[in-house]
Structures are given as C-alpha cells and as structure tokens.
Amino acid sequence: MTRLFNEPAAFADEMIEGFVASHGRWVRRVSGGVARSTKSTADTVALVIGGGSGHYPAFAGLVGQGLAHGAAMGNLFASPSAQQVYSVAKAANNGAGVLLGYGNYAGDVLHFTQAQERLRREGIDCRSIAVTDDVSSAPLEERAKRRGIAGDLTVFKVAAAAAEAGYSMDATVEIAERANDRTRSFGVAFTGCTLPGAENPLFTVPEGRMAVGMGIHGEPGIDETGIPTADELAVLLVTKLLTEVPDGLESPPETNKRARVVPILNGLGSVKYEELFVVYRRVAQLLAAAGLEAVDPQVGELVTSFDMAGTSLTLFWLDEELETLWNAPADTPAFRRGAVTAQALNADELSAETAEDVVIPEATDESRAAAVRVLAALGAAKDVVDANVEELGRIDAVAGDGDHGIGMERGVRAAVEAATDAVERGAGAATTLHLAADAWADRAGGTSGALWGMALRAVGDAIGDSHTPDGGAVAAGVAGAAASIVGFGKAKVGDKTLVDVLVPFRDALSAAVGSGQSLTDAWGAAATVAQQAAEETANLLPLMGRARPHAEKSLGTPDAGAVSMALIVRAIHNTFAEAKAAATTTKENA
C-alpha cells in the first residue's frame, strides 16, 4: 500500500512539486503539469502527453529533449482537465503546432479533445493520437476501443523523435499512428493497488491467483488463473501477443528475414527488477524461437500503478524508419539514450505564469439572489457526495477503477469554493454556475469532471445573469446539459452511464414544468424518476468507459455515475423545498 503521504487530496500536487524540485535539469512547473526546462527547436511540432498521476515514470518522467515537450498531469488515476492540457500545450508550443498523446480512456478523450478544439480556435494546429495497445481490452476488430498501457512509450518516443527531426505535423501524426498500429501489450497482476489514504486496494486477487488482462488503473482482469512460474508467465505473454502480429509483418521461413521488434517488459509497481529479468530471460528465448529479432529490449518500470504487483509485455514491430526514430537520442528523467545537447531556458523564459483575474460580469439583484440559491444547491451536492464517497467508490470498483467517489468529491468541493467566491464578488446565477463548472472540470478531471462541467455550464447558459430563473429556464438548462453530454460523450440510454439517469430526469422535469407545476414540485417528481432510473442500471451491461471490458462483473450493481447523479438531484430538490418552506413561513408572518 501507499504509506508516505500527508493529506491524500494534496498528494498529486505535492508529488509534482517534489518531482520538479528534484528534476529541474529537465522540467519546469507550468499550469497544469510540467514542460521542458530546456530550449526546443523553433518551428517544430511539440508533443504534449498526459494522463492521470500514479503511473510514474509516465507521464512527467518522459519530458525532455528527444521526447515529450510537456506533460499534463491529472489527479490520481484521473485524466487531466481540458484546462490543464490547454495550459501545458500553450507553454510547450514551438510555433508549428501541438500533437497531443494520451491513452485511450474516456476521460482523457473528452478532456484532450476539448483542449484540442480550444487550441484550434486560437489558430494553433493541434492533432491527437490515442494509444490503443492493450489487446485484452477489446477484440481485434474493435481496436479503436482498446486502452493504452505500456505501449504509450513506443508511440510517444517515435512521435517525439519525428518532431525533433523537423517532420511536418502531417508526417508526425502519420508516424505516430503507424507506431500505434504496430504496438501490442498484454499484462497480468497478482495484487491490486491502493491509493494514498485508502484502507483497501481498488481490487483484490485471491491468494495464490493471478488476474489476466488487468488495466493500469486497477481495472480487474478479464480472467483469473493460478500463479505460474516465471517461464510459464513468459509463455503466456508471448503466446498471446504473437496471435496479433500486425498485418503484413509475418516473415515467411524461406525469406530468412527475421522481423525486428522492441520488447518492453514493464513492472507495474512492486514486482522487483530481478524478477522481471528472470521472466525476460524466457521471453527472449521465445521471441528468438519465433523468428523475431529483439531490438533494444526494455526491462523495468515504465508505466506503473502505485503498488500493484504485476507486469506487462509490449511488442513494438519495427520498420526502418520506426527503428531510426526509436533509436534517436533522448534525455528525460526516466528515459535516456545517446547524446543530446540541451540549452537551459533563461530567466525570462522560466518566469512564472501569471493567472488572469476573472472579471465578474454585471448582474441584476434578482440574479444575485438566485446565485445564493445556486450555491446552496451546490453545497447540498457536496454534502451528499461527501456522505457517499466510499460507497460510490465501492460501486465503481466492481467493474471499473474505483475512483468515482474520489473524483466527484474533488470536483464538487472545488465547485463550491468557486461558487462561494463568485457569490461574495456579486456574481449572478449564470456566472456562478460557469465558474463552478470550470472548477469542477479542472479539479476533478476524469470523465465525470468533464461531464459535470458541461452540465453546470449548460444550466448557466440557460438561466443567465438578468432574471430570476423560472421552471422553464431551468428545464431548458437541463435539456441543454443532456444534449451537450450525449453529443460529446456519445453515450446513449442503455449504455449504463449517467445518461441513463440524465435523460429520464430531463424528460420528467420538462413534462412537469410544462404541465404547470412549480419548479420545486417538478424537480421533486423528476428526482424520483432519476432515483428509479439509477437503480435500474443494475440490470444493464456497460457499453462505454473503463467498465466495458468487465461488463458481466457489473450485472446486479448500478452505475456509479448514475447513482451519484440521482443522489445530487435529490439533494438539490431538498434545498428547493427548504427555500419554498422558508418563503411560505415568511409570507405567513408578514
């Protein structure tokens, strides 16, 4: 388990602070993560990578000459927010555009895509490469759904070397996609991992058993076997990967030409290097027997998962160009090869970024009064999340990574802080919601952070800063939230996500408001529908997100995102009812 920490909620920030303090030769702190502390060649593509913290040396350990120009660093096992990605990309941009690289997880896709769109609106050429190397996370015919694990390294290294060599953006993207197409990974675990402050691991493996096909966020494996010997494990890993030789790379025996591969045996946190060497001994023998030539083998910790006991094998199938780029010099905290000439940035270039003060727009007295009610609603959401954080994590851990409660807690607390500041500065209801939305998305990260940020912003757009929000405006805001979330996340009713609650809640609220009910009564009726919808997700199989590869495990358990949404809308209704009762009492006493 993770033993050395102060306040668990501050762990990621304190970790980044210590990393930068100890690796100033390579990196500097920027808003949202880290960037190179050395000069990059002007007018070349910048590679910005990123993901959740907890996987060191991914992602910050790969920032430096010859590899990434910057890394956006999210909270533990949660994707960085769109704001973080945007900030790092702006700091790393060399003038020829930014290529964003990340593992193919729902939260990362949402946030990196939002950042990409924002950069493009500012005239910066921005593209993305989502790594999909994990063969256990989706079948071959659905490769685009696969997640990224230790194969991140091969894709990032090749793309960065191409950028460093002056490739155009189009050429850099092409070579990154080719590297991704030629990278396959497969892993196992013997124990789960435990986040700082948590009493229990995100998942457990029975004593004497091994989880097969686990993910780097603690997602349970897709199978379970007895613990093999080192040689038996090598056979399992190699055999599985050789069933997926990339198209056109099988070498006919009569050619006497051996295909060349980079093997990466990755430790996930607590398997010792000596154990990895014993396993790699047999991996090397099996690759040679299969007619493959191992090029520059990598054995060690490259993408970890805190204290998880496990390992994965990656095979990267080379061609001449890919091999040249893989072998190009690099100098980063965690990955070095060859000789790199690096010139440190000067004092002006290293100067701290100054945060822009948020200007509070003018608002009417009615809207300022409504902002106070918005703050009360967010406070109720915070209280109900705080009271259920462990249960939300438990539900999420059944088939996911178990961090939903933690992410929701971080997000809603940040939203309340931002809303409190906004109300104190005289903000109207819309501005209060917009600032709360940005804070929630930025602090929570992950899929839930992106979606709740969209939801709050959509409601703010609908109610404005000029009037007292009525039922029609609020219902329109909820409808806008549903449209934004469904349009961006692509989930639909039946996929076992929060959409299974949001859509029926939207419909019930709109119908009740349309029939003439007060906002309080309409919201209460819709909250009852939401609660029932959340309970019914227990009968669904997940078709989106990290839980999808473990669909059967989740039968009988409701979706964590659906449950948290139902809890929040009920808590918000309670604030409406309390305000209505208080107003009635005041009127009667007048």
Contact yes or no for 92/69 (Cβ under 8 A): yes
CA distance 485 to 480: 9
Q: Where does 54-149 show beta strands of DSSP type E?
A: 70-76, 98-103, 126-131
Strand partners, 336: 331
Q: What is the 3-state secondary structure (H, E, C) of 295-307?
A: CCCEEECCCCCCC
Collapse the DSSP code of 336 into the 3-class scheme (helix H, G, I; strand E, B; otherwise coil) and give the result: strand
Give 296: exposed, middle or buried? Use CB within 10 Å, 0-12, 13-18, 19+: middle
State CA 401 to chain mean position distance.
Answer: 11
Q: Could you count the other beta carbons within 10 Å of the beta carbon of residue 366?
A: 15
Token output for 85: 């990605």
DSSP track, 421-456: HHHHTT--HHHHHHHHHHHHHHHH-HHHHHHHHHHH
Half-sphere exposure for 296 (CA within 13 Å, toward CB): 16
CA distance 92 to 330: 17
How many Å from the N-terminal Cα to the C-terminal Cα in the chain?
A: 61
CA distance 80 to 63: 16
DSSP state of 497: S
Collapse the DSSP code of 339 into the 3-class scheme (helix H, G, I; strand E, B; otherwise coil) and give the result: coil
b/e map 173-191, b = 16+ CB within 10 Å: bebbebbbebbbbbbbbbb
Cα separation values, 115 from 36, 126, 164, 504, Å? 20, 9, 23, 30
Token output for 323: 């091999």
Residues with active-site annotation: 217
- Nearest 5 degrees, angle CA 488-CA 498-CA 107? 50
Backbone angles phi, psi at 331, to 5 degrees: -140, 100
DSSP state of 54: S
